[in-house]
A = this chain, B = another copy of it.
Amino acid sequence: MDYKEALNRFRIKIEKVVAINYANSIMEWDAATGAPKKGAPMRGESLGFLTVLQHEILINKEAEEDLEILLQNIDKLTDIEAKMVKNSKKEFVKMSRIPKNELRDYHMLTNRAQHSWEEAREKDDFSIFSKDLKEIINYKRKFAKYIDAKEHPYNIFLDDYEEGMTVEKLNAFFSKLKERIVPLLKKIEESKTVINDDFLKKSYPIYLQKEAATELLEIMGFDLTRGMLKESTHPFTMGTNIDDVRLTSRYDENNMLSGTLSVAHEGGHALYEQNISRDLFNTSLATGTSLGIHESQSRIYENNIFKSKEFINFYLPFLVKRYPEQLKDITTENFYNAINRVEPSFIRVDADELTYSLHIMVRYEIELALIEERLEVEDLPEYWNNKMFEYLGITPPNNSMGVLQDVHWSHGLFGYFPTYALGSAYAAQFSHYMNEEKEPKKVLEWLNKNIHTYGSLLTPDEISLKSCGELLNPEYFCSYLEKKFTNLYNL
């Protein structure tokens, strides 16, 4: 059969899926930014219907046959077409090998698990969640086996978030981090340097913080005519398409840094989605290539740029103009020191730049132990607390502030956490290769050219090789942290 007919049908299917994705995104944005809560059931109906529809469009006999024809003619396709075909084939294999009824039962289970996790966290009682978690892990292992029984199940999970990543590579990655960051943190804790960040906790009126947030986005180079900033309980970024990229932040009157870093972080994600090549418009490739690379874009702005002396030197006057009273007599040095203060804490999302990846390491080691059946769910709280003490030197006072703090596992998101640490490491590596340039315009230019423009056309490895001439190398991250915090704490 002529491959062109198959290609035509394939493209139409992709466009339908993109159209449905857009509708679903807007409904989710709406839900997160103010929609009446009581309207949730109808939204659930609509999202559910459209998700099933997407599945029906992609997973059927015709789609399967077309994919075969296109794979046989892959040389005749453009790069974009070929990449979409390969991705779709992979997705097809995954979706078609898991029995529909098991997938439905699993969705019901994770739906239920949201509630048991929430209740467990509220009541600080891990046992309320443990039964569902055990079942989730069983399903995840079973599904991985359906997809490829010969592969390490954790590699199957990783493939959903970070193409090319494996347990072997992650083990090497995290052992390097352990070797370098854990001793560094010990030294900092023993240091006598005291950093004062009290002025960050003064009263910063919310309406001023909102104005500052928009200004910061403009400084970063975000195009507000092709996107918008709103508020939500949990900050997030949503690239519905190149011309409509949305992000949210949250503001705390007595913690100016929190909202500001949120904007820098989400702004980094948003710049990625906004600067994907227009050639990819209306295709399935018009989004970030992996969670790790996406996170590198948020982390590079939040940490490597925002928390650098060069940037603070440039940006502090903007803040002083807005908050003359609160920032009276505060120097670049004061501000830089305060926002880089290290303090081990229990909650991942509040962690500083140095300890953040240790939180991730704890989670990675637990996930791997659970999936490899070296750890029982019942023993998880103790295991968690031991790891926290080993790496961060602190023990959570309860499970709500420990093993129960994150929503991810109740959603079945195993293999997701490591991408946060990969993002920080990629950020340090990219930052190194752009010659430590901290001028917003030049940073954006480099990221546009080397990362953003490709969307999902290149894999994380291809992007790293093309832009840095080497694969991900945690050495950059470790030596960046060592240099920065050795100076800061006079080690």
Q: Which residues of A contact B (CB under 8 A)?
A: 15-16, 18-20, 22-24, 26-27, 29-30, 34-39, 41-43, 45-46, 48-50, 53, 224-228, 240-241, 243-244, 282
Contact = CB atoms under 8 A, between A and B. Distances in A.
Contacts of A35: 228, 244
Contacts of A27: 22-23, 26
A19 B35 CA distance: 17
Given A26-B27, A50-B23, A42 B243 contact: yes
A470 to B, nearest CB: 37
Nearest to A241: B42
Contacts of A228: 34-36
Contacts of A225: 36-38
Contacts of A36: 224-228, 243-244
Contact of A240 (B39, B53, B226): B39
B243 A19 contact: no
B46 A23 contact: yes
A209 to B, nearest CB: 18
A38 B282 contact: no
Contact of A46 (B20, B53, B226): B20
B49 A16 contact: yes
Nearest to A42: B241
Given A225-B36, A228-B36, A45 B19 contact: yes
Contacts of A50: 19, 23
A15 B29 CA distance: 23
A266 to B, nearest CB: 16
A58 to B, nearest CB: 15
A37 B223 CA distance: 12
A19 B244 contact: no
A273 to B, nearest CB: 12
A39 B243 contact: yes
Nearest to A22: B46
A30 B15 CA distance: 21
B244 A49 contact: no
Given A20-B49, A38-B243, 7 more contacts: A19-B50, A20-B46, A22-B45, A23-B23, A35-B244, A36-B243, A39-B240
A244 to B, nearest CB: 3
A375 B39 CA distance: 48
Given A39-B226, A39-B243, A244-B39, A46 B19 contact: yes
B22 A42 contact: yes
Contact of A43 (B20, B22, B37, B42): B22
A18 B45 contact: yes
